[in-house]
Amino acid sequence: MKDELDDVDLVTVYTDVYNMRIKLERMKKPIGTRDSPARSCKDLHHGHPQLKDGFYWIDPNLGMSDDAVKVFCDMTDGGKTCVFPDVHASKMPNIPWRKSGDGWYSNLRGGFRISYDSVGIVQMTFLRLLSKEAHQNMTYTCINSVAWYDNEARNYDNSIKLMGANDDEFSAVNNKPNVDIDGCKRRRSESKTVFNIVTNKRDQLPIVDFFPVDYGLPHQAFGFEVGPVCYR
């Protein structure tokens, strides 16, 4: 009987040691699960270079794994950590908006602030500290509405402004964003303008609001879609 009990105790000890070893291995090389989150996608890529692009769990503040967050890891580009805006506050189809409030989209009737609540302020702050560069794009869709360059007036008087997380503004005057496509400049029936922001001032992103100018007249409408903010 005693031998049987000793065998059971020995199995328990070996099991505990094995589980502890697994936990230590996960701490050394996290695997990107909720129970074993990496500090960032870059760290995950370094530990497991064979991993493919996809969604993984990270914990930038290295606290308890309870506050780990799920992000998209671009492993093809060296492990960029990409945070998507909340689904309910990231896009809107073309609508004939009326001008109201102070002009910022979040203060228009029916407008809203672009949010990233799924990650939270604390983890976003630590993610910025772990990164050297941030980038994000936004697509402005338009119907008879200028978004950046006005081809008819030949100026930028109707260009929109984008607001970053630290209240910095990106506009034709200051902090000019890259404009990959500017289909709205001719005021056609339907087109789009794509803005692309790249900055080493990581606290400038993500985009949280924007200020449209050329809208409110008959047959005019605009919409938008905000892409993920990615840190490297």
Whether the Cβ atoms of residue 83 and residue 116 lie closer than 8 Å to each other: yes
pLDDT tens-digit profile of 149-192?
999 999 999 999 999 999 999 999 999 999 999 999 999 889 99
Fold of 2-76: Transcription Regulator spoIIAA (3.30.750)
CA distances from 58 to 29, 32, 63, 125, 182 (A): 12, 6, 11, 13, 36
At 1, is the pLDDT very low, low, confident or very high (cuts 50, 70, 90)? Answer: low
Name the architecture of domain 84-231: Sandwich (2.60)
Whether 17 has a pLDDT exceeding 50, the answer reads no
The span from the CA of 196 to the CA of 202, in Å, is 14
Whether the Cβ atoms of residue 197 and residue 45 lie closer than 8 Å to each other: no
pTM of the model: 0.86
Give the mean pLDDT of the chain. 91
pLDDT of residue 156: 98
Element (H, E) at 92: strand 91-95
3-state secondary structure of 130: coil
pLDDT of residue 9: 60
Q: Can 2-76 and 84-231 be said to share one CATH topology?
A: no
pLDDT of residue 71: 98
pLDDT of residue 202: 97
Domain map of the chain by residue range?
A: 2-76, 84-231
pLDDT of residue 18: 41
3-state secondary structure of 140: strand
